[in-house]
Amino acid sequence: MNTIPITINDKKLDVDPAKTILEVCRENDIEILTMCHLKGIIDIGACRLCLVEIEGINKLLSACTTKVAANMVVKTSTERIKKYQRITAELFFAERNHVCSVCVANGKCELQQLGYKVEMDHIRYPHLFPHCEVDTSHPWYVMDHNRCIMCTRCVRVCNEVEGAHNWDVMNRGHQVRIISDFNTPWGESITCTSCGKCLHACPTGAIWPKAIVQGQLEKKPEIISELMEKRKMKL
């Protein structure tokens, strides 16, 4: 295999040029925070948590959507990056309504984990307190827009893995919402196969099964990644 030399956090590595910075970091135990990334589905650079500094480039770039290049010099954990990660985490909490104490995902939520990692003790921005729908029309699952962070993992998993494309995105800015079919109740969807993949892909308490209560949510996003690995191997 052809490899190219790159440097990440002063560590010299020889890597596969087809890989993203994030893939290389994960393979080399270099921690990068991510939210919209889920191994196995296409990266879109939505959450802006995986930002890295690259020598010679002024902007911070998302590691999940930036391919490695020969002699690239990358830094993953500078004060500048940490500052933006903390802001991003706070804005997730300020933008929708996160009441962890009554949430199904409490204690098992990727967004809470993110808050702890960036050492968020409070939110410095005023909460928007938007009015959000809770769609309970599906016989087994609930979609609670209060807790959605618009990572679109559900959209991509439903489209790329299940092939159903029930979910999509409507509006822009703070009015952006995930929609089922053409913005109709999930329970009336003609595309959803009720496979439950979106539920496992979702990093928060936004999509959950009706059979559980506060703090009981068990998600296994890794089953999506494993499934895609197996498909590649044509097993």
Partner 1 sequence: MSKKKLGTVWLGGCSGCHMSLLDIDERILEVAKLADIVKSPVVDGKEMPEVDIALVEGAITSDEHYRELLHIRKQAKTLIAFGDCAVMTNVTGMRNYFNLKDVLDTAYVNAISNDKEGKVPDHPSLLKLNEKVLPLQEVVKVDFVIPGCPPDADTIFYVLFEFLNDRLPDLGKAKKLKYG
Q: Is 54 or 111 the residue whose CB approaches ligand SF4 more closely? A: 111
Question: Can you say whether the dihedral through the CA atoms of 63, 66, 69, 74 is positive or negative?
Answer: negative
CA distance 166 to 154: 9
Q: Does 206 bind ligand SF4 (CB under 6 A)?
A: yes
List, in sequence order, every residue forming a beta bridge with 51; answer none if it has no partner: 62
- Closest approach of partner 1 to the CB of residue 205, in Å: 10
User: Read out DSSP for 138-179?
Assistant: SSSEEEEGGG-----HHHHIIIIIIS---EEEESSGGG-EEE
Which does residue 121 touch among partner 1, ligand SF4, ligand FES, none (CB within 5 to 8 A, set by kind)? Answer: partner 1
Interacting residue with ligand FES among 8, 25, 36, 103 (CB under 6 A): 36
CA distance 182 to 166: 9
Interacting residue with ligand FES among 25, 30, 41, 49 (CB under 6 A): 49
- Closest approach of ligand FES to the CB of residue 119, in Å: 19
Closest to 121 measured CA to CA, from 93, 79, 81, 149: 93
- Closest approach of ligand SF4 to the CB of residue 140, in Å: 9
**Binding-site string for ligand FES from residue 80 to residue 119, where x marks contact by CB under 6 A and - marks none:** ----------------------------------------
